[in-house]
Structure 1
Amino acid sequence: MSKLYASWQHGFTAVAENPGTSAFRQGFGVTFSLPANGGDWIHLAIPTPVIVEDRRATLDRVLILFHARETSSLLHVHVWDGPNRILARDDLKIEGDHVHGLSANNVFPVGRDGINFGCGISMYFAAGQIDSHVFIAGFGGDFSHNI
């Protein structure tokens, strides 16, 4: 029998890869500032139930509540099991507000059996012709265990 497990983190735990990227953390999330024609990777660590009752987890999907403001857009979503990339979705160009619900724009099916290490999401956002912002409210993963 498969048991489901959802694990989420609050958005203010998100980290930019470039230490020069400004992050404004508040109780309801984090806002990153991107310069015009620039971009950055934003990394999200998902608490991972690797083993439950002697069975390794399956990562079914990841979910990200975000708002790509002004001219910013989400271009890449990569999902990691420790050092191993288990999903790469590239050339996306997702814009707009995806904070208040789930859709094909912020839910990414993974379907990876045998998770070994901690899972994380790496997202690349780019700004257009003007300085722009990216807001992250929360993120998580849906796991299952065949026990």
Structure 2
Amino acid sequence: MTIKQAAWTHGLGIELESRSWTALRQGFYTIVTPSNESQAGWVHFVIPTPVIINGVRSKFDSARIKFTTGPAAKITNVHVYDGENKISEFNGLNVTGKLETISKDIAIV
């Protein structure tokens, strides 16, 4: 299959859901540090994507995350939204380590 459209966001383009966490943006990545009051939380990546291409509504079929975690951190859930609508979710993950990549096909929920 030929890729006809791709979009990504820079490692600096994140938003933290918990105001008690900190984000140190450096170069092409961000170091996220949880607070002592909350070790679990959400990190949001806003990916600007075209809604319509050549008069046709865009449909996305996969999502990929490339990351490195510290020894005590892990990714347990990935949720994909189209605007305010959740279109896919991957829960119960246990992903940790150095320069890992998660690739998932999107199944509309």
Q: TM-score when scaled to structure 1?
A: 0.66
Which residue in 2 is equivalent to 1:91?
92
Amino acid aligned to 1:110? I
Distance 2:70 2:81 in 1: 26
Work out whether residues 60 and 111 of structure 1, in 8 Å CA contact, stay in contact via their aligned partners in 2. yes
Work out whether residues 20 and 35 of structure 2, in 8 Å CA contact, stay in contact via their aligned partners in 1. no
More strand by share: 1
Residues 104-143 of structure 1 aligned to structure 2 (within 5 Å): 106-110=102-106
Which residue in 2 is equivalent to 1:73?
74
Number of residue pairs aligned between Structure 1 and Structure 2: 106
Q: Which runs of 5+ in 1 are unaligned?
A: 113-147
- Pairwise CA RMSD: 1.9
Amino acid aligned to 1:107? S
Greater relative contact order structure (CA < 8 Å, 6+ sep): 1
Amino acid aligned to 2:7? S
**Once the two structures are superposed, what CA deviation does each residue of 1:79-116 show, in whole Å capped at 9, x if it has no partner?**
001111111111101111235xx4xxx1121155xxxx
Task: Give the 3-state SS of the residue equivalent to 2:12 in structure 1.
Answer: helix
